[in-house]
Structure 1
Amino acid sequence: MKDKLKKFDDFLINLINTKMSHKYLDTIMSRATNLGGVIFSSLLVIILILIGSSHIKLMGFELLGVLAISQIIVHTLKMLLSRERPYNIIEHLNTFGIDLKDYSFPSGHTTASFSMAVTIALNIPRLSILVFIIAIVVGVSRIYLGVHYPTDVAAGMFVGCFTSILVHFYLLEFVYNIAEALGLK
């Protein structure tokens, strides 16, 4: 099984990072990846909570809970598994000058983008296709930029989807209660 996953990673990272390399994609991917970053995620939550209608405000609180839980899972897995980033191991990768100090597995950007996509899709179904396309582009950008293996991205997709579903269907009242107790609701 481990050999199959390694072959999967090697094939896709070579395809996406090396063979798909193009100056226009360099620009698109280096910007798209930020849609899964902490600044965009935080700004989205703040905007939803501060200026949204009551339904959108509640979605903002839900998203805050989802992102908090999913990122705790991500950082715990990164510390436990300590997987080196691909650019530290594979010599021929296009790295775009990125030098991150944390570990690779799972992808936090992909987790955040899928957390946001699933939460938005569950609350505003008509946006589902758009938010999932954006989340997929964020995941692919992480491989394109040489900072993650495809299995890191797949794990991030899973953690983001799982956490969003868990919060939406089982922990939503708990999240709202915390928001209310903190005077945010």
Structure 2
Amino acid sequence: MRKGLKWFDDKLISLINDKMKNRFLDLFMYRITDLGGAIFSTLFLISLVFFGSKRMKLIGLEGLTILSISQIIVHTLKKLLSRERPYKILENLNTFGINMKDYSFPSGHTTASFSIATTIALNMPKLSIVALFLAMIIGISRIYLAVHYPTDVAAGIILGVSTAIIVHLYLLNYIERIAEIIGLN
């Protein structure tokens, strides 16, 4: 199984990082990837809590809960598994001057993106295609920039989606109570 995953990683990273490479994607992927970062993800959800309608405030609070839980899991797995980033191991990758000090598995940007996208999809189904498409582009950008293997991104998708579904199904009542207590509902 490990050989199969390595083959998958090698083939897909070659396709996305090398064969798809062009000037437009170099600029686009370098910029879009930031939408999955900690600063943008957190500020986006906080802005929903402070500036949104009653419904958006609740979605923002649910998203912050999901983001917090999923990122704790991400950073725990990164420390436990200590997988080096592809640009540090594989030769002939297109790198973009990104030098990260943490580990690769799972992708935190992808996890955050899919946490938020799934939260939006569960609460506002009409926006689900747009939200999930954007999250997928952010995940692909992580491979394009050679900071993650495809399996890192796949794990981020699974982690983000599953955390959002579990919280939505089992913790939403508690989040609604918290919203009432702090005056958001």
Question: Structure 2-normalised TM-score?
Answer: 0.96
Distance 1:159 1:146 in 2: 20
Listed one character per residue, the Cα deviations across residues 39-85 of structure 1 (whole Å, up to 9, x for unaligned) are 11111111100111111100000000000000001001001100000
Amino acid at match of 1:70: S
- The aligned counterpart of 1:102 is 102
1:142 counterpart letter in structure 2: R
Contact 2:58 2:179 in 1 (8 A): no
Q: Identify the residue that residue 155 of structure 1 maps to in structure 2.
A: 155
Q: State the Cα distance separating 1:173 from its structure 2 match.
A: 2.1
Give the superposition deviation at 1:91: 1.5
Q: Deviations over 1:104-147 (max 9, x none)?
A: 00000000000010000111110011001100000000000000
Question: 1:22-33, aligned counterparts within 5 Å?
Answer: 22-33=22-33
Range moving further from structure 2, 45-54 or 103-112: 45-54
Would you say 1:171 and 2:171 are equivalent positions? yes
1:1-185 equivalences under 5 Å are 1-179=1-179, 183=182, 185=184
Q: Shift of residue 178 of structure 1?
A: 4.3
Shift of the alpha carbon at 1:163? 0.3
> In 1, are the aligned partners of 2:62 and 2:119 still within 8 Å (CA)?
yes
What are structure 2's unaligned runs of at least 5 residues? none
CA distance in 1, matches of 2:53, 2:11: 46
* RMSD of equivalent CA atoms: 1.1
3-state DSSP class of the match of 1:63? helix
Question: Where does the alignment leave 5 or more consecutive residues of structure 1 unmatched?
Answer: none
Shift of the alpha carbon at 1:179? 4.9
> Paired residues, what number?
184
Distance in structure 2 (CA, Å) of the matches to 1:167 and 1:94: 38
Amino acid at match of 2:57: K
Among all aligned residue pairs of Structure 1 and Structure 2, give the percentage whose two residues are the same amino acid.
62
- Partner secondary structure for residue 103 of structure 1: coil
